[in-house]
A and B are shown apart, each in its own frame.
Chain A
Amino acid sequence: MMDTKEETAQEQQITVFRLSDEIYGADIRKVYEIIMLQKITKIPRTPHFVEGIINLRGKIIPVIDLRKRLRLSCKDFGEDTRIMVVDIGGNTAGAIVDEVSEVLSISKTSVEPPSSLVAGTVETEYLEGIINQEDRLIILLNIEKILTESEKENLADMDKSITEVKDAEN
């Protein structure tokens, strides 16, 4: 736990998880809980990365596939696949990730601002920064930005999802 306010200002706790082959992190204050995969009820005519909705202790929350959202390669759901229940501007949502590994305390200084070189497939709006650890790189995401952007993309993705599903069917 933090001793002084000053320390809290310098440190940050992040939930570390894996999407496809890369390691990502999200501010722990935005993550409510991690739950196992459960039956997802599909909703018609939603963007392709919206998997559907689930019943979380009586509350209905939408679930998105974070890998699809970030346009990463999608492996099938495995044993380690989890749903991260997060807070987006007051609304609760679930994000499917391949594996949740740990909670890490990092100092804010160790977060490097994203440079276009490292960005890769992740659009820089969602990118808070990169944490360079000895043995790995953690891409720090701004969960809020990832999901609210979806509103704007709704229309664009609608068409895309139709063609994608059609492709998947054939």
Chain B
Amino acid sequence: MRTDATPEEVKIFFEELEEQTQAFEQGLLKLEKEPENSELISEIFRCAHTLKGSSFTLGYSTIGKLTHCMENLLDKLRNNEMKFNSDIASILLEGLDMLKLLKIHLEGGDEKEMDIEPFAGRIALLCGDEKENARPAPLLSDEPKDAPEENPETKPYRISVEISSECEEAAMRTSQIFSYLQDIGEIYKSIPTLEDVEKENVGHYVELVFLSEKKKEDIDEMLSIVPELEKINVMALPENEIVGQEKPVSEAVKENKEKEAPAKQIKEETAPVEKAPSIISVAPTKSVRIDVERLDALMDLLGELVIDRTRLSQLGMDLENKYEGDTTVVSINQTFEHLDRITSEMHEQFMKTRLLPVEIIFNKFPRMLRDLSMKSKKKVSLQIHGAETELDRQIIDQIADPLTHILRNAIDHGIEHPSERRNKGKQEEGTIVLSARHEEGHIVITVEDDGKGMNLDKIKEKAIASGLLSKNAVEKLTDVEVLNLVFLPGFSTRETAGEVSGRGVGMDIVKTNIEKLNGSISVETRVDRGTTLTLKLPLTLAIVKSLLVTLCENILAFPLFSVTEALWIARAEVKTVRRKETIQLRGDVLPLLHLSEIFRFGKAIKNEENFWVVVVSWADKKAGIVVDSLIGDQEIVIKPLSPLIKRVDGVLGTAVLGSGDVALIMDIPGILKCAAEETHAG
């Protein structure tokens, strides 16, 4: 599939394809529940229509043909020539799937052609049309109704024509040439241009780059109809000479002929970078497309601004101390205060631009669930709460896969077959509730099903069977610990693998991915009642409220959402258990960690009577980290370690404090991991 569009236009097209496909799918699923809703039918029709237009304009003929078939069907629905039923739903969904597949191929630069003729045939049959209507609408050309015999590929040609010197109406002849060619193809470039011809600014020589499905002989024949032409030269061109910036001349020609072509309008109003939103988008909200890179660049700059303003505030205070009462200093400080407020607001607004509603990923699930429930012959309904909850876009990207896996698990392993459910006295249709909500600095996403729950004994058996743990070790585990065994690599309690889940590689990768984002995942279950998976994710990756401490001349920052408390401990309280220092914390044993050893900062001298311990928690693990002193809590901007330094376990990043000092931001799960390694090594 060749396209004669700029990279920018292609990018916009793909974005639009994504948007429209999603809107189409959602509308369709809604329509299944409300088959009489004509509003929905119109909406979906518009999606197909828009896509058809833009794909043909850019030369993606396969997508164009595909969407045209679907548009045809939808048109009939719209005009009440047909009534919506599940067959129609299924075939349209099939078409959507093919669209998605095509998109993936194209984005990957894969030129593989997809044969949509069988599909087109089936739709036509459903519509009750003759098969030949699978041809595209006359947007490009007035092709004869018979499909060309072989190879309907559009080919590029270079045509040069010399008009006889005796011809007095060269402009008219040229216009005639254009016109005839238009009927069998598309003029991509021409000298003279259409404007020139209108102004009668022509010579006797015409050169064109022309696209057509016709063969050379046919073009020759067509041109020879035009009188007063001396030389006609039609030459097939190698494909890659075409791609360029110029608008096909045929577009402008059609404008004059006033042919219907909404897609053309898209092109007209498309400046190289932007796109007219009102024509394309179905969504009612006003929005502007911005390159994520630009946003990121702005974010970086803003981050620097935040750092400087903190610095300025401090300097301002220093000045005040030095020059008490000086009016200039007072003014300066007032201005700094104002700057402070503005910067804070700016920063807040900017952070919001990075936020997207989770709806974006939640959207895919109704469809996925529908397919899965049909395949597995189970009845499941999906409830979604809090889809408008917003999350940093980076995080959203990363949790799409884990969530998908969890949902698949819920259907595969959780929800029972209708008969089984009946026997248990449950409703035949199982329910999965997917919800998202804000909670004190992070987002909580839960997936709750009312299925059969997880069987602790089975888990224990599997763990022993796969050699993960010995029988003895398993006996000693608490219920919570047994549940968490499912997060270990290689674990699965299914005898035969389900569609995607059940191969034993799922949950541990899910856990790893979530933890990479500084999130946590935990599971709760009740036999025959159901299972709930809870994901906790930080609201944003860029700024974090932290507790600053000192340790061996370093300043460390602990993200507050993982700090539960800070304790002032007396040496006498420390008990050594199996060569590890611990203290009692409200009945639990809390291990003490010495970062100076884990990080090899150098030996810490720990002979004081009392010292500070920062209690951190992660998922269900807790530890106490020994520090030298507490500084206080501060909002700091996370700066990643330089790309020249490989990722360091235990260090999330760095931050420049208002004082100019550099703090190391602690990565709690990383520290806990390092500590565990030490235990095994020591």
Question: B307, B598, B656, B664: which contacts A43 (Cβ < 8 A)?
Answer: B664
Q: Given contacts A41-B554, A45-B599, A60-B642, is CB(A55)–CB(B648) below 8 Å?
A: no
Q: Which residue of A lies closest to B305 (CB)?
A: A58
Interchain CB contact under 8 A, B601 and A44: yes
Task: Kindly identify which residue among B555, B650, B656, B661 contacts A44, using a CB–CB cutoff of 8 Å.
Answer: B650
Q: Which residue of chain A has the shortest Cβ distance to B603 in the bound complex?
A: A169
Among A44, A147, A148, A154, residue most surrounded by chain B Cβ atoms (within 10 Å): A44
A46 located at the interface, meaning its Cβ lies under 8 Å from any Cβ of chain B in the complex: yes
B641 at the interface (CB under 8 A from A): yes
> B644 near A58 (CB under 8 angstroms)?
no
Task: Give the residues from 587 to 625 in chain B that come closer than 8 angstroms, CB to CB, to chain A.
Answer: 598-603
Tell me whether B645 is interfacial, beta carbon within 8 Å: yes
When the two chains form their complex, are residues A42 and B601 in contact, meaning their CB atoms are under 8 A apart?
yes
The residue on B at minimum CB distance from A92 is B642
Check if A55 sits within 8 Å of B661, measured CB to CB: yes
Q: Which residue of B lies closest to A154 (CB)?
A: B646
Contacts of B600 in A (CB 8 A): 44-45, 162, 165
Judge whether B644 and A62 touch: CB under 8 Å. yes
Interface string of A71-114 (1 = CB under 8 A from B): 00000000000000000100111000000000000000000000
Chain A contacts of B656 at CB under 8 A? 55, 58, 60
Question: CA separation between A147 and B656, bound complex, in Å?
Answer: 24
Residues of B within 8 A of A46 (CB): 645-646, 648
For residue A63, which residue of chain B has the nearest CB? B642
**Contact call A53/B643, Cβ cutoff below 8 A:** no
For B307, list chain A residues within 8 Å (CB). 58
Number of contact residues on B: which range applies? Answer: 20 to 34
Cα–Cα, bound, A46→B651 (Å): 11
A148 / chain B contacts, CB cutoff of 8 Å: 644
Judge if B304 is at the interface, Cβ distance under 8 Å: yes
Chain B residue at minimum C-beta to C-beta distance from A64: B644
B654 on the A face (CB < 8 A) = yes
**What is the size, in residues, of chain A's interface with B at 8 Å between Cβ atoms?**
28
- Bound-state CA distance A43–B81 (Å) is 72
Main secondary structure of the interface of B (DSSP, over half): loop
Across the interface, name the chain A residue whose C-beta is closest to B596.
A44
B641 touches A43 (CB 8 A): yes
A169 to B552 CA separation, bound complex (whole angstroms): 14
Contact B651 A44 (CB under 8 A): yes
Interface residues in B644-662 by Cβ distance below 8 A to A read 644-646, 648-651, 654, 656, 660-662
A135, B307: Cα distance in complex, Å: 48
* Min distance, Cβ B305 to any Cβ of chain A, angstroms: 9
Q: Is the CB of B648 within 8 A of A60?
A: no
A96, B670: Cα distance in complex, Å? 30
Determine if B340 is an interface residue (Cβ-Cβ < 8 Å).
no
A66 within 8 Å of B (CB atoms) = no
Contact present for B648 and A43 (CB under 8 Å): yes
| CB interface residues, B 546-566, toward A, < 8 Å | 554-555
- Report the Cα distance A116→B603, complex, angstroms: 42
In chain B, positions 266-306 with a C-beta closer than 8 Å to chain A are: 304
Q: State A80–B646 Cα separation when bound (angstroms).
A: 30
Within 8 A of B (CB), among A7-60: 39, 41-46, 50, 53-55, 58-60
Which residue of B599, B643, B644, B654 is within 8 Å of A41 (Cβ)? B654
The complex places the Cα of A144 from the Cα of B656 at a distance, in Å, of: 27
**Residues of chain A with a CB closer than 8 A to B601's CB:** 42, 44
What are the residues of chain A within 8 A of B663 when measuring CB–CB? Answer: 41
Give the distance in Å from the alpha carbon of A88 to the alpha carbon of B642 in the complex: 11
Known: A41-B654, A58-B307. A91 touches B662 (CB 8 A): no
* Contacting pair A91 B643 (CB below 8 A): yes
Q: How far is the CB of B675 from chain A (nearest CB, A)?
A: 13
Provide the residues of chain A in CB contact with B654, threshold 8 Å. 41, 53, 60
Contact for B645 among A42, A50, A92, CB less than 8 A: A50
Q: Does B639 contact A (CB under 8 A)?
A: yes
Does residue A150 face the partner (Cβ distance < 8 Å to B)?
yes
Q: Give 6 closest A-B pairs by Cβ, nearest first.
A: A44-B599, A41-B662, A62-B642, A60-B654, A55-B662, A55-B656
12 extra interface residue pairs, beta carbon distance < 8 Å, beyond A44-B648, A151-B646: A41-B661, A43-B645, A43-B648, A44-B598, A44-B600, A50-B645, A58-B308, A59-B304, A60-B654, A92-B642, A154-B646, A165-B600
A-B pairs with beta carbons under 8 Å apart, 23 shown: A39-B662, A41-B663, A41-B664, A42-B554, A42-B601, A43-B648, A44-B650, A44-B651, A45-B650, A46-B648, A50-B645, A53-B654, A58-B656, A60-B642, A60-B656, A60-B662, A62-B641, A91-B644, A147-B644, A151-B644, A151-B646, A169-B602, A169-B603
Binding site for B on A (CB under 8 A): 39, 41-46, 50, 53-55, 58-62, 88, 91-93, 147-148, 150-151, 154, 162, 165, 169
Hey, which bits of chain B sit against chain A, CB under 8 A? Answer: 304, 307-308, 554-555, 598-603, 639, 641-646, 648-651, 654, 656, 660-664
